[in-house]
Amino acid sequence: MPERRTVPRKKFHLYLRVMNDDTGDRMGHMVEVSATGLQLETVAPLPLEKEYYLRLELTSELADRPYIVFIARSKWCKIDEIQPNLYRVGFAVVEILPEDKQIFVNLVQKYSS
């Protein structure tokens, strides 16, 4: 499949859980990130083109609040090449509050490579 991403994605070096804000269920954890999206490692495949209210859990070193919530759409899903019991799911951020966007961008800049 040809690369369609226009913003480079970077490996994320912190373990941050991502929850479904509607259900409270754990979705996975962030493994790659860009200014416009993220990749989660999950234990189950997720449907494509579905919008989720995602809650990214933060620590006090990262922000003055315990989490940020944003809407993201699942764009692709594949089995992890190294651990076939896990899945990689790519999301595009659809909507995020400006103050939460700044926290997200700071995370990308500080904790990714």
pTM of this structure = 0.85
21: left (phi over 0), alpha (psi -120 to 50) or beta: alpha
Q: What does the domain layout of the chain look like in residue ranges?
A: 10-111
The topology (CATH level 3) of 10-111 is Thrombin, subunit H (2.40.10)
Are 17 and 57 in contact by the 8 Å Cβ rule? The answer is yes
Q: For every one of its 113 residues, what pLDDT tens digit does the chain have, with 9 covering 90 and above?
A: 445 545 556 676 678 899 999 999 999 999 988 878 999 999 999 999 999 999 999 988 888 999 999 999 999 999 999 999 999 999 999 999 999 999 988 887 877 66
**pLDDT (0 to 100) of residue 39:** 93
Q: Which residues contact 112 (CB under 8 A, 6 or more apart)?
A: 10, 11, 12, 13, 32, 33
d(CA 38, CA 33): 4
What's the pLDDT score for residue 5?
47
* 24 within 8 A of 18, measured Cβ to Cβ: no
pLDDT at 8: 59
